[in-house]
Chains A and B, each alone.
Chain A
C-alpha cells in the first residue's frame, strides 16, 4: 500500500470559537497505479483530505503512512515526500510567479536540487505532456489564457516527476473542450507513465469515465468507496448528500421502469447507447410489440 490513512481527523481552528470539524475518522488505503475519483458537495472536506496526503496539513489525530512510514514522525523529510506526491491545487494558476513559463515550471525541480540542465529538461517534458507548445516557453505566465495558465501550473507539479498526482478540481471553470483535453492528459499520465492519480471533481460524468475507484465524501466522512458503477447504484443516497449520479443513470432507471431491460449500471453515454440498442433489438426480435420505428434505432 502506497499511502495509508489511519483514523485521521482534522479540525480547523482547534481550540478557538471558530472550530470546524473538517474530517472525521478517515480510514483509507491507496495503492500504486490507482485512478481514484473523489466527489462530495461543497465544504465536505475534499480539499482538506488531499492536503493530508502530502503533509501540508497535520492531522489533529490519526496517522498517515507513505510507503509504510509515518510522515509525521520526527525527522521525516516532508519536502521529499512532496516531490513524490504532487498536488495541483484548486485554481493552480494563482500560484504562477516567474517571469516566463519555463522558469516557473522549473521551480519544482530546482527545489528538488537538480542541475539547471536537468531542470530544463524536466520542465520541457512536463510542458509537452500538458500540451503547451514551445513558442510559449518564454512568454510571461501572466499573459496566458486561463486554460493555458492552468496547464502551466500543472506542468509545474509534473516536472517534479511525482509518483502520485493529486488534482483538486482541475477542470473548474474551463470550457468543455479544455476540460476534455485536460482530463485526456491526466488519463495519458496514468496509462502511459503509470502515475497514481487522485482526481477531485464535481462532475459525476467525468469521474465515471476516468476513475476506476470512487470515494464519496460527506461531512468529513467517507460515505462510499467503490467502483463508480457500485457507487452510482446508491443514487438515492447520493441525492440526499446533495450529489447526483450521472444523468445516464437516471435515464436507464426510467427506461427500466418503463419495461425496457437495459443495463442499470451504465454510467457513460457510450455504454448507455449500446445497452439501449441491444435491449431494443432484443425486444424487436422477441416481436412483442411493433413500433413505428424507434428514434433510437437508426
Chain B
C-alpha cells in the first residue's frame, strides 16, 4: 500500500518547487496549449527543449518523471495503433485488410508525442506542488466565479479536506487490514465473491472510522466558528515574488513562439 503517493509530490528545494502554485497552474495550461499549437520539426524541438529544461530545473529524478507515464501507456499504444492503421492516404505498407499510410505514421507520431508530453508536463506540476498548494491556487484563480454565485471557497475547502483525508484513511485501512490479518483473515486467496466477502471486516471499521473522523472535524470547525469564505484570511497567503513575474514572462514568450511555429511551421510532423 506504501506505493500510492497521492499527488505524487516529490520534495526537493528546486526553483520550480518555490514558484507560486498559481504560476505553475497557469504555466501548465500554457504549456498544454502550446503543445497543441506547434507544428513542424522546429516546433517539436522547441517544446522538447522546454520540457527537458523544466525537468532539469525540478531536480526530480528522471525515473519518477517516467513513472507518471505508466497509467497512460495502454491508451498511448491503442491511440498509436488506431491512428497508424485507420488514417487514409498514400499507402506505404499493406497486408490483408491492414494498411499503413504516410499520413498515418505522421499522425501516430504526433499523437504519441502530444500525449506523453502532456502527461509528463502536468505530472511535473503535481510532482513539484503539494495538492494543498494547488487547491489554494485554484481557489484564488477561480475567485472571479464568485460573481456568478459559485461557492469557490467551499469547493476548494472540500477538496483540501478530501485530499487531507485520503492518506489518513489509507493508513487506517492498512492498520485495520493488518489487525484482521492478525486474526487470521485472508484477503488474498479464494474466488472473486469470497474475496469481496473478505473485505467486510476491513470496510465496516473503515467506514465507522471515516464517519467518526468527519464528525470530529465538523465539530472542531464548528467550535472554531468556521463559516465559509467571506472575510477569511489565510495563514500563508499566496504572494507573487520576482521569480513568479519572470515565469509569467517566459510563458508569454513560449506561447508567442508556439503561435509562430503554428503559422510558419511545415506540417511535416
Contact = CB atoms under 8 A, between A and B. Distances in A.
Interface of A: 12-13, 16-18, 51, 54, 56, 79, 82-83, 86-89, 92, 94-97, 107-108, 111-112, 142, 156-157, 160
Nearest to B209: A94
Contacts of A160: 183-184
Given A82-B181, A89-B179, A94-B175, 15 more contacts: A51-B178, A56-B181, A86-B182, A87-B179, A88-B182, A89-B178, A92-B179, A94-B208, A95-B201, A95-B205, A97-B201, A107-B185, A108-B183, A111-B183, A112-B184
Interface of B: 2, 5, 10-11, 172, 175-176, 178-186, 200-201, 204-205, 208-209
Contacts of B2: 12-13, 16
A157 B182 contact: yes
Contact of B184 (A79, A92, A95): A79
A79 B186 contact: yes
13 contacts: A12-B2, A16-B5, A51-B178, A89-B179, A94-B179, A95-B179, A95-B180, A95-B201, A97-B200, A97-B201, A97-B205, A107-B184, A108-B183
A12 B5 CA distance: 13
A17 B205 CA distance: 30
B209 A83 contact: no
Given A16-B5, A17-B11, A94 B186 contact: no
A142 B172 CA distance: 18
Nearest to B3: A16
Nearest to A87: B182
Contacts of B11: 17
A88 B180 CA distance: 10
A148 B123 CA distance: 48
A83 B205 CA distance: 22
A123 to B, nearest CB: 12
Which of B172, B181, B183 has its CB near the most chain A CB atoms (within 10 A)? B183
A111 B185 contact: yes
Nearest to A85: B182
A161 to B, nearest CB: 12
Given A16-B5, A95-B179, A82 B208 contact: no
